[in-house]
Amino acid sequence: MHRPVVTLSIVALLAALVLAGLYVRVGRAKQLVDRRLADTTARADQLAADLAAASGANTALTAKLAASDADLGTTKTKLAASEARTALLDRDLAQTKNLLSLQEQNTRAFASEVASLKSDLADARAASASPESVAAYKNTIAELERQLALSANGAAAPTAAGAATAVFASRAGRAAVMSVGPASAFVVLDFGAERGAQVGQQLSISRGTEIVATTLISDVRPHFSIAQVQPDSLHGALQKGDSALLLR
């Protein structure tokens, strides 16, 4: 009777020992799990904080990027406006250079014309020319000197076509034939717009004291003009160096 009780007691004691061991092991495992859970929770909290910080930084970077895009658009607009102004200034500069070049050419032409007229005036005085011719030279010189002064000051010098034509008419040997076209159909004269040449003006071509043709100006350039020879007026072949006299 006592042996079964003792056996059961031993079994119960062993079972109690096993349960105690399992309880201890479970407790230790629970502590380990709790620590790991705490670590995981802390890491999750840190990751959440890092994510929030990264989200904030991303928002700030997005705002900066938007501001940079706006600044870039403004800079592009300013650059386009600056390039447009530069192009406009380059065009104005080119126009100014052209105007200055034209003004210098006009100034040289006027100065040359004045010097030539003064020389002719001196020759006319030496040859005891009529007072009317001398007065015409003086008036033309005064007009050209006025235009020369206006040109030097940057003002637009009016064309003194009448004065230049009058002096041209009184200086028969001044203009000459520069070249002759085929069959003497036309001539090129050293009488251009700067000296008052106009389309439709009629000139006689002479060699010595003989008039060899009558011409009509059909094209005028700054320094020369082209005159068509009237066929009925032609007497012999025209030559380079023939004199031209303005008739009307």
**CA 200 to each of CA 1, 91, 203, 222, 225: distance values in angstroms, whole numbers, following the listed order:** 164, 37, 10, 16, 11
Q: Which amino acid is at 246?
A: L
| pLDDT tens digits, 224-238 | 999 999 999 999 889
The values of phi and psi at residue 73, to 5°, are -60, -40
Residues 6+ apart with CB under 8 A from 164: 113, 140, 194, 195, 196
Per-residue pLDDT of the chain (248 residues; tens, 9 = 90+): 567 777 878 888 888 888 888 888 888 888 888 888 888 888 888 988 888 888 888 888 888 888 888 888 888 888 888 888 888 778 877 776 766 765 676 566 556 656 665 665 666 565 555 565 556 556 656 655 665 566 555 554 444 444 444 444 444 336 889 999 888 899 999 898 988 899 999 999 998 889 999 999 999 998 899 999 999 999 988 999 899 998 86
Cβ atoms 239, 177 nearer than 8 A: yes
pTM: 0.35
Q: Is 225 exposed, middle or buried (0-12, 13-18, 19+ CB in 10 A)?
A: buried
| pLDDT tens digits, 40-98 | 888 888 988 888 888 888 888 888 888 888 888 888 888 888 888 888 778 877 776 76
Structurally, at CATH architecture level, domain 172-246 sits in Beta Barrel (2.40)
